[in-house]
Protein backbone atom coordinates (compact mmCIF):
# COMPACT_ATOMS: atom_id res chain seq x y z
CA UNK A 1 0.00 0.00 0.00
CA UNK A 2 2.99 2.31 0.09
CA UNK A 3 2.09 4.35 -2.85
CA UNK A 4 2.73 7.69 -4.42
CA UNK A 5 3.77 9.47 -1.31
CA UNK A 6 5.70 11.67 -3.67
CA UNK A 7 3.04 12.43 -6.17
CA UNK A 8 5.04 12.97 -9.29
CA UNK A 9 2.98 11.10 -11.78
CA UNK A 10 -0.77 11.35 -11.59
CA UNK A 11 -2.36 8.27 -12.98
CA UNK A 12 -5.88 9.40 -12.41
CA UNK A 13 -7.41 5.97 -12.60
CA UNK A 14 -7.23 5.12 -8.89
CA UNK A 15 -8.22 7.42 -6.11
CA UNK A 16 -5.40 9.60 -4.97
CA UNK A 17 -3.95 8.40 -1.68
CA UNK A 18 -3.24 11.69 0.00
CA UNK A 19 -1.28 12.01 3.17
CA UNK A 20 -3.27 12.75 6.27
CA UNK A 21 -2.98 16.12 7.89
CA UNK A 22 -2.10 16.46 11.54
CA UNK A 23 -5.67 16.72 12.77
CA UNK A 24 -6.82 13.96 10.50
CA UNK A 25 -4.20 11.54 11.74
CA UNK A 26 -4.91 12.37 15.36
CA UNK A 27 -8.60 11.71 14.86
CA UNK A 28 -7.88 8.55 12.91
CA UNK A 29 -5.53 7.28 15.61
CA UNK A 30 -8.11 7.92 18.28
CA UNK A 31 -10.59 5.82 16.34
CA UNK A 32 -8.16 3.02 15.66
CA UNK A 33 -7.13 2.72 19.27
CA UNK A 34 -10.72 2.13 20.13
CA UNK A 35 -12.50 -0.95 18.88
CA UNK A 36 -15.83 0.63 19.44
CA UNK A 37 -17.41 3.55 17.69
CA UNK A 38 -16.90 7.00 19.14
CA UNK A 39 -18.98 10.13 18.84
CA UNK A 40 -17.31 13.28 17.62
CA UNK A 41 -17.41 14.70 21.13
CA UNK A 42 -15.88 11.55 22.60
CA UNK A 43 -13.04 11.88 20.12
CA UNK A 44 -12.66 15.52 21.08
CA UNK A 45 -12.40 14.61 24.74
CA UNK A 46 -9.58 12.20 23.96
CA UNK A 47 -7.70 14.77 21.96
CA UNK A 48 -7.96 17.80 24.18
CA UNK A 49 -4.54 16.97 25.58
CA UNK A 50 -3.17 17.14 22.06
CA UNK A 51 -4.37 20.65 21.44
CA UNK A 52 -7.74 20.11 19.82
CA UNK A 53 -10.42 22.27 21.35
CA UNK A 54 -13.42 22.66 19.09
CA UNK A 55 -15.94 20.21 17.67
CA UNK A 56 -15.39 21.60 14.23
CA UNK A 57 -11.80 20.43 14.22
CA UNK A 58 -13.08 16.92 14.76
CA UNK A 59 -15.91 17.11 12.27
CA UNK A 60 -13.67 18.47 9.56
CA UNK A 61 -11.14 15.70 10.05
CA UNK A 62 -13.91 13.11 10.09
CA UNK A 63 -15.34 14.43 6.83
CA UNK A 64 -12.02 14.01 5.10
CA UNK A 65 -11.40 10.60 6.62
CA UNK A 66 -14.79 9.45 5.40
CA UNK A 67 -14.06 10.76 1.92
CA UNK A 68 -10.90 8.67 1.92
CA UNK A 69 -12.83 5.63 3.10
CA UNK A 70 -10.81 5.32 6.31
CA UNK A 71 -13.70 6.03 8.61
CA UNK A 72 -17.38 5.16 8.52
CA UNK A 73 -20.26 6.89 10.11
CA UNK A 74 -22.85 4.87 11.98
CA UNK A 75 -26.07 6.75 11.40
CA UNK A 76 -28.01 4.93 14.03
CA UNK A 77 -25.48 5.87 16.72
CA UNK A 78 -24.34 9.29 15.55
CA UNK A 79 -20.88 7.85 15.89
CA UNK A 80 -17.83 7.02 13.85
CA UNK A 81 -15.64 3.96 13.49
CA UNK A 82 -12.35 3.22 11.76
CA UNK A 83 -12.70 1.10 8.67
CA UNK A 84 -11.85 -2.52 9.34
CA UNK A 85 -10.70 -3.18 5.82
CA UNK A 86 -7.92 -1.55 3.90
CA UNK A 87 -9.70 1.72 3.28
CA UNK A 88 -13.07 0.89 1.83
CA UNK A 89 -12.82 3.09 -1.16
CA UNK A 90 -16.51 3.70 -0.83
CA UNK A 91 -17.69 1.93 -3.90
CA UNK A 92 -19.05 -1.14 -2.27
CA UNK A 93 -21.73 -0.96 0.35
CA UNK A 94 -20.80 -2.16 3.78
CA UNK A 95 -23.14 -3.27 6.51
CA UNK A 96 -22.49 -2.97 10.20
CA UNK A 97 -23.46 -5.44 12.88
CA UNK A 98 -23.61 -3.49 16.11
CA UNK A 99 -23.71 -5.40 19.39
CA UNK A 100 -26.10 -3.79 21.81
CA UNK A 101 -24.40 -5.48 24.72
CA UNK A 102 -20.68 -4.88 24.25
CA UNK A 103 -20.77 -2.16 21.64
CA UNK A 104 -18.46 -3.90 19.21
CA UNK A 105 -19.07 -3.33 15.55
CA UNK A 106 -18.43 -5.82 12.79
CA UNK A 107 -18.03 -4.42 9.34
CA UNK A 108 -19.56 -6.69 6.76
CA UNK A 109 -19.07 -6.63 3.05
CA UNK A 110 -21.42 -9.09 1.46
CA UNK A 111 -21.96 -9.62 -2.21
CA UNK A 112 -25.43 -11.13 -1.98
CA UNK A 113 -26.79 -8.40 0.27
CA UNK A 114 -25.49 -5.79 -2.14
CA UNK A 115 -26.94 -7.64 -5.08
CA UNK A 116 -30.40 -7.76 -3.54
CA UNK A 117 -30.25 -4.10 -2.68
CA UNK A 118 -29.30 -3.37 -6.25
CA UNK A 119 -32.12 -5.52 -7.53
CA UNK A 120 -34.80 -4.04 -5.37
CA UNK A 121 -33.66 -0.56 -6.35
CA UNK A 122 -33.67 -1.40 -10.01
CA UNK A 123 -37.14 -2.92 -9.77
CA UNK A 124 -38.45 0.39 -8.54
CA UNK A 125 -36.51 2.60 -10.83
CA UNK A 126 -34.48 3.93 -7.95
CA UNK A 127 -30.88 4.83 -8.67
CA UNK A 128 -28.94 4.42 -5.44
CA UNK A 129 -25.77 6.30 -4.68
CA UNK A 130 -25.24 5.25 -1.11
CA UNK A 131 -26.69 2.63 1.21
CA UNK A 132 -26.83 2.56 4.97
CA UNK A 133 -27.20 -0.92 6.43
CA UNK A 134 -26.92 -1.21 10.19
CA UNK A 135 -27.94 -4.22 12.23
CA UNK A 136 -28.47 -4.04 15.96
CA UNK A 137 -28.42 -7.14 18.07
CA UNK A 138 -26.05 -9.40 19.93
CA UNK A 139 -22.65 -10.42 18.69
CA UNK A 140 -21.36 -13.98 18.81
CA UNK A 141 -19.65 -13.36 22.13
CA UNK A 142 -22.60 -11.79 23.86
CA UNK A 143 -25.56 -13.81 22.68
Q: Which residues are annotated as a binding site?
A: 99, 102, 139, 142
From a copy of itself, DNA, none, interface partner of 140 (C-beta below 5 to 8 A by class): a copy of itself
Answer yes or no: are the C-beta atoms of 80 and 73 closer than 8 Å: yes
The correct pick among 16, 41, 121, 135 for binding DNA (CB under 7 A) is: 41
3-class secondary structure, 57: helix
Q: Segment near DNA (CB under 7 A), from 35-43, 92-100, 109-117, 126-134?
A: 35-43
Contact string 62-81 vs DNA (x = CB under 7 A) = --x-------------xx--
Cβ at position 81, least distance to a copy of itself in Å:
15
Backbone angles phi, psi at 38, to 5 degrees: -125, 145
- Please spell the DSSP secondary structure of 59-117, one letter per residue: HHHHHHHHHTTSEEEETTTTEEEE-SSS---SSS--EEEEETTT--EEEE--HHHHHHH
For residue 81, give the nearest of 92, 91, 68, 96 by alpha carbon.
96
Alpha helices in 2-54 (DSSP H): 22-33, 40-47
Residues 104-133 binding a copy of itself (CB under 8 A) are 106, 108, 110, 112-113, 116-117, 119-121, 124-133
Q: Does 91 bind a copy of itself (CB under 8 A)?
A: no
The correct pick among 42, 90, 97, 103 for binding a copy of itself (CB under 8 A) is: 97
The correct pick among 76, 89, 92, 102 for binding a copy of itself (CB under 8 A) is: 76
3-class secondary structure, 48: helix
For residue 44, give the nearest of 84, 83, 4, 79 by alpha carbon.
79
Binding residues for a copy of itself, rule: CB under 8 A, are 75-76, 95, 97, 99-100, 106, 108, 110, 112-113, 116-117, 119-121, 124-140, 143
Amino acid sequence: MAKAEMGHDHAHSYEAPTKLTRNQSMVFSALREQEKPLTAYAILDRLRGDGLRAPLQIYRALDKLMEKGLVHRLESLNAFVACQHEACSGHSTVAFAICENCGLVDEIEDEAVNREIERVSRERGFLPTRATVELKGLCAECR
